[in-house]
C-alpha cells in the first residue's frame, strides 16, 4: 500500500495536497484497492462550495459505491475531467490522478487531518 509523504489524510481515505492557496483532493491507494476496478467517478460541479465532511462525489466499482467526503471546507475550482473518460486512472495512480481542485476556506482546518505517518498507523488498525 502506497502512502505519500507531505499530504494530509482523512479517516475516510481522502488525501489533500496543498498547492499554494489551492489544494488537490483525491482518494488514497488504500481506498482504491478496497474498491477494486473503478468504473465511474462522479465529479463535483465547478464553483460548488462544499463543507468539510460533506459528500462531494461518488466513486463506483462493479460491486461497490462509495461517497467521497470533502476533507476541508472549500470551493471547487477545477475537476479532473480525464476521469470521465478513463476512471481506471485512479486505480493506476490514485495520488497522481486527483479528483478535484479546491480553494480552501480556512487553512487551519488542515490541522484536523492526519499526516502520512498517522494515516499509515490508522490504515493498519482498519485492516
Partner 1 sequence: MRFPYIPNTKQDEEKMLKVLGLDSVDRLFDDIPESIKLGRRLNLDVPRSESEVSKMVKHLANKNLSTEELVCFRGAGAYDHAIPSVVHHLISRSEFYTAYTPYQPEISQGTLQAIFEYQTMIANITGMDVANASMYDGASATAEAAMLASANQKGDTILISETVNPEIREVVKTYMRFYNVKVVEVPSKDGLTDMDALRELASADTVGVIIQTPNFFGNIEDCTEAVEIAHENKALFIMNVDPISLGLLKTPGEYGADIAVGEGQVLGNSLNFGGPYLGFMTSSTKQMRKLPGRIVGQTVDLDGKRAFTLTLQAREQHIRREKATSNICSNQALNALAATIYMGLLGKEGMAEVAEQSATKAYYAKQELIKTGKFRSVYDAPFFREFVLETDIDIEDLNKQLADKGFLGGYNLGKDYPSDKNRVLFCVTEKRTKDEIDCLVKAMEEITW
Partner 2 sequence: MVKYDQLIFEISKEGRKGYAFPGCKVDNVNLDEMIPSALRRGTEIILPEVSEPQLVRHYTQVSMKNFGVDTGFYPLGSCTMKYNPKINEDMASLPKFSALHPHQEERTVQGALELMHNLSGMLSEIGGMDAFSLQPAAGAQGELAGLMIIKAYHEKRGDFKRTKIIVPDSAHGTNPASAHIAGFDVVEIKSTKDGAIDIENLKAALNDEIAGLMLTNPSTLGLFEKNIVEIAKLVHEAGGQLYYDGANLNAIMGQTRPGDMGFDVVHYNLHKTFTTPHGGGGPGSGPVGVKKHLEPFLPKPVVTKVGDTFTLDNNRPDSIGRLKSFNGNFGILVRAYTYILTMGAEGLSRVSEMAVLNANYIQEKLKAHYTLPVDTICKHEFVLAGLKNELSTCSTLDVAKRLLDHGYHPPTIYFPLIVPNAIMIEPTETESLETLDAFIDVMIQISKEADENPELLKNAPTTTVIRRVDEVMAARSPILKWEKQ
* Partner whose binding site includes residue 88, from partner 2, partner 1, none (CB under 5 to 8 Å by kind): partner 2
Give the C-alpha separation, 30 to 126, whole Å.
10
Query: Segment 68-127, which members bind partner 1 (CB under 8 A)?
Result: none
- What is each CA distance from 96 to 61, 102, 111, in whole angstroms? 19, 16, 23
Closer CB to partner 2, 42 or 60, in the complex = 60
Q: Is 87 a residue that touches partner 2 (CB under 8 A)? A: yes
Least Cβ distance, residue 37 to partner 2 (angstroms): 4
According to DSSP H, which parts of the chain are helical?
29-35, 82-85, 89-92, 116-126
Residue from 12, 60, 109, 120 binding partner 1 (CB under 8 A): 60
Amino acid at each position: 500500500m502506497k502512502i505519500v509523504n507531505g499530504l494530509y489524510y482523512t479517516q475516510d481515505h481522502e488525501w489533500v495536497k496543498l498547492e499554494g492557496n489551492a489544494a488537490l483532493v483525491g482518494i488514497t491507494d488504500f481506498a482504491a484497492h478496497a474498491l477494486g476496478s473503478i468504473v465511474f467517478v462522479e465529479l463535483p460541479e465547478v464553483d460548488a462550495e462544499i463543507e468539510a465532511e460533506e459528500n462531494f462525489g461518488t466513486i463506483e466499482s462493479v460491486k461497490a459505491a462509495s461517497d467521497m467526503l470533502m476533507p476541508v471546507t472549500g470551493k471547487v475550482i477545477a475537476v479532473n475531467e480525464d476521469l470521465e473518460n478513463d476512471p481506471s486512472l485512479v486505480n493506476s495512480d490514485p495520488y497522481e490522478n486527483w479528483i478535484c481542485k479546491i480553494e480552501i476556506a480556512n487553512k487551519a482546518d488542515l490541522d484536523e487531518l492526519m499526516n502520512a505517518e498517522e494515516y499509515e498507523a490508522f490504515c493498519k488498525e482498519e485492516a
